[in-house]
Amino acid sequence: MVEFAYQTLPWNIIFGAGYMKKLPTEMDKLGLKKALVLTTPNQSAAGEEIIQLIEHRAAGLFDQAVMHVPAETAAEASKIAKELGADCTVALGGGSTTGLGKALAVQMDLPNIVIPTSYAGSEMTNIWAITDAGRKVTARDNRAVPTLTIYDPELTLTLPPAFAGASGLNAMAQAVVNVATDKINPIVSSLATDAVRALYESLPVIMSEPGNMTARSQALYGACLAGGALGTGITSLHHKICHTMGGTYNMPHAETHAIILSHSVAYNAHAAREGTAQLARAMNTDNAAMALYDLLKKLGVPSSLKEVGFKEEDIEQAAAITVENPFDNPEEVNEKRLRKLLQNAFHGHPPQTVDQL
């Protein structure tokens, strides 16, 4: 018997190679006249191209977006948006830039167009964040959902391959936790399962043939679906660990998700038996956690927390912080097992199920 509740988000998406060029007409359709373009310092030149593209519809460029949306950055961008009389933002970039557009959308009620260039998937969720005095606070607000998202796979061609792999696994994690769960929501799970298939197939092709546009397009589509699953679905142990790693130890976002993923899947494999089997089928394997671990190695992404700068002596504290507040998870989360999971992730050892931890 099927039983579920599902609430969608106000998504408005166009997707296609070369679609960035549609930005001026899309702005006109939405009645938006002056955009503050947002990028990171790395993607400043791409931001300048947007300014050229939208001509008189450009208010200016703010190219200081950084990870985790520091409150000072949001305040500075907001001041510039007001001074320039911007009536919307156009965020071109990964999750950090999208995050800035979302913060301004909520704080200033400013329509936000997002052009994602990584697989972070943030544009498909209503989760927005701000970091003040070293504390990252996240909340859900539908005003953060982009007024329009333009997916253009051509823009992902410049993603460095090593980061493409990590970012793709970050997207995969958003989908995986919504398939390998004991609380399967059929609509979310359909989105998530298709996301897993698309990413699992396309990411290795991108590594071997970086210019393969079919794979680039499939990976970005997978990221869109995965973000949709996260936006309307759940999070569990996996995201809780990664939140601790990012928030307390400033570990790199995408790489941390990539490293933890196989371990969190193995941890829940018994308690979420049916969902984990469905996840394995989506990857054409019989061991989902090992398939994710093998994929991580194949993509050449760092496979241990040690490689991304985490310190072994922090494992105990990280486990304690992760279980500080209760959260939903298929398997009971026990601090001792969590320490063992983190040790495995620290050394890059293969994932273990709870009975082995």
Q: What would the two tokens of residue 285 be?
A: 């394997």
Q: What is the maximum alpha-carbon separation in the chain?
A: 63
Among 57, 238, 253, 263, binds ligand NAD (CB under 6 A): 253
Among 99, 165, 222, 275, binds ligand NAD (CB under 6 A): 99
Beta pairing class for 135-140 and 127-132 = antiparallel
Euclidean distance between CA atoms 120 and 8, whole angstroms? 19
The interface with ligand NAD within residues 181-240 (CB under 6 A) comprises none
* Residue 149 engages ligand NAD in binding (rule: CB under 6 A): no
Applying CB under 6 A, the site for ligand NAD has a residue count of: 27
Cβ closest to ligand NAD, residue 234 vs residue 277: 234
The interface with ligand NAD within residues 39-98 (CB under 6 A) comprises 40, 42-43, 67-68, 93-97
Cβ closest to ligand NAD, residue 112 vs residue 125: 125
Considering only the stretches 4-12, 119-127, 193-201, 266-274, report the one whose residues sit in contact with ligand NAD under the rule CB under 6 A.
Answer: 119-127
DSSP code at position 350? P
* Residue 159 engages ligand NAD in binding (rule: CB under 6 A): yes
Cα torsion 9, 15, 21, 24 to 10°: value is -20
Euclidean distance between CA atoms 334 and 315, whole angstroms? 14
Considering only the stretches 22-30, 163-171, 319-327, 336-344, report the one whose residues sit in contact with ligand NAD under the rule CB under 6 A.
Answer: 163-171
**3-class DSSP state of 116:** strand
User: In the bound complex, what is the minimum distance in angstroms from residue 350's beta carbon to ligand NAD?
Assistant: 25
Binding site for ligand NAD (CB under 6 A): 40, 42-43, 67-68, 93-97, 99, 117-118, 120-122, 125, 127, 155-156, 158-159, 163, 167, 170, 253-254
